[in-house]
Structure 1
Amino acid sequence: MLETASPGSPASRHPDPAGRIKAVLFDYDGTVGDTNQLVIDSWQHTFMTIRGRRTDDELLYHTFGEPLRETMARFFPEHDLEDALRIYRDWQAAQDQNRWYLFPGMRQLIGELRRRGYRMGIVTSRTRDSLERALVYLGMEDTFSAIVTCDDTTVHKPEPEPALIGLEKLDVRPDQALFVGDTHYDMGCAHNAGIEAVLVGWSRSMRPEDKVGIYRPDYEIKNAGELLEILEKC
């Protein structure tokens, strides 16, 4: 089992940055990992298996960030939930080893954040097992000092608990962190936890009309490197 690093371990061995922000929490799917097409294909396989037809990709994009179990129960209320999950997960597990990618510039960004001493964590609705497989495949298993998955809490985004668990693991206050994500679930989770939210410009699920209330991002970045510009001003 992949073990996350503690704040005093090599993943965070550098002195804290001088500015207000000491840590960055990342969502994984659609933010760090370019899994968009893998997720869409997994859903379409499930729809074909259960319903004998595909569904609209845009419908699926707007479920990004929601725990799989909740979405599955809503899409297939007439079907056994565990069997539907098995169909989705078995197909994805057979595909994903060769389909794990990072978004452009993300590896360089994370390396630079680590060099500058920022504590980093991942807060995701993905299962721990599948996230660990991805991080190992990408050579990033020792990069993050905190990992929070859907297996670590029964309360999920946009509720604050996943982000608060991440903050506790990183030993920072909400005002000392940024949360980077691609969905309204991420923006809501961040704000409900008292954290400033950063929306990535490559989001496929966040529409302009979604950016209201607690779902309005504090910052938006067009590319990974722009996060460093935000941090330099904080």
Structure 2
Amino acid sequence: MIKAVLFDFDGTLANTLPICYYAFQNVFMKYDNRELSTNEISAMFGPSETGIIRENLTNADKEMAIEYFYEKYAEQHEYLVESYFEILALMKSLKEEDIKIGIFTGKAKRSLDISLNALDMNGLFDVIVTGDDVINPKPDPEGLLKALSFLKVKNSEVVFVGDSDADVMAGVRANVFTIGVQWLPEYQTSHFNEQPNLIVKSINEFKSYLKVGV
């Protein structure tokens, strides 16, 4: 019996990849004079945005660069990130079935809070684990296991949903049923290197699998 569904955030619950790319491109151009492609930025994903900047920026002003990232992320969020009614409806359907919902994301809490506020998703989740809450980022399952422990559910009672190879690897390593999704306009992985238990391309397909809201 499924008692909890845990979700990645960027590219899974929200089409935030465009704003992430935009903010990182501005940071690396301003501080390193480097023009990065979306693929180059995506290859850095894993740590939180603060970790990405500290590990990849050559400029010594890393803390100023981090502040600049959040400035760009916040100022363009409403223009680059669209709210999806289907996602909110899915969360409501799961809660109506008494299924706990949570987020396990590599994002730092600060940027996640910006997005949750902008998308009216505050207060929806029973547990949130961000990149700030772990020592080892995805594909390590540390954050996922923390979420399971907090919710007091077994591995066999959980589904983990994500759009990247790192998500799938974390789910497999945590020994939970792992679903790769490609249901938003932009997602990180077209062909998973490690196969999830299931791949779904629409929210209705996901609902049908869980038998909720259908």
TM more than 0.5: yes
Shift of 1:206: 1.5
Paired residue for 2:210?
Answer: 231
User: Which residue of the partner structure matches residue 166 of structure 1?
Assistant: 147
* Residue from 169, 186, 204 that aligns with 2:187: 204
TM-aligned CA deviation for residue 56 of structure 1: 1.6
Give the aligned partner of residue 71 of structure 2: 90
- Is 1:217 the counterpart of 2:203? The answer is no
Residue identity (%): 27
Structure 2 counterparts to residues 1-234 of structure 1, below 5 A: 20-96=1-77, 99-103=80-84, 105-201=86-182, 202=184, 204-208=187-191, 210-212=192-194, 216-232=195-211
Partners of 2:31 and 2:136 in 1: CA distance = 28
d(CA) in 2 for partners of 1:170, 1:126: 20
Between the aligned partners of 1:74 and 1:129, the Cα distance in structure 2 is: 18
* Alignment partners' CA distance in 2, 1:29 and 1:220: 17
On the 8 A contact 2:31/2:59 being kept in 1, the answer is no
> Per-residue deviation at 1:147?
0.8
**Between Structure 1 and Structure 2, how many residues are aligned?**
210
C-alpha separation between the residues in 1 aligned to 2:43 and 2:208? 29
From the superposition, tell whether residues 153 and 142 of structure 1 become closer, same or farther in structure 2 (CA, over 3 Å): same
Which amino acid letter does the alignment assign opposite residue 124 of structure 1?
Answer: T
C-alpha RMSD over aligned residues: 2.2
Judge conservation of contact 1:181–1:200 (CA < 8 Å) in 2.
yes
Deviations 1:158-205 (A, max 9, x none): 111100111122221111011111111111111111111111114532
TM-score w.r.t. structure 1 length?
0.80
Match of 1:3 in 2: none
Paired residue for 1:6?
none
Cα separation, 1, equivalents of 2:112 and 2:55: 24
- Look up the equivalent residue of 1:69 and give its one-letter code: T
TM-score by length of 2: 0.87
**Can you give the 5+ residue segments of structure 2 that lack an aligned partner in the other structure?**
none
Instruction: Compute the displacement of 1:211 (Å).
Output: 2.0
Aligned mates of 2:162, 2:83 — CA distance in 1 = 14
3-state secondary structure, aligned to 2:137: coil
In 1, Cα distance between equivalents of 2:112 and 2:54:
22
Report deviation, 1:100.
Answer: 4.2
Find the aligned partners of 1:162 and 1:87 in 2 and give their Cα distance.
27
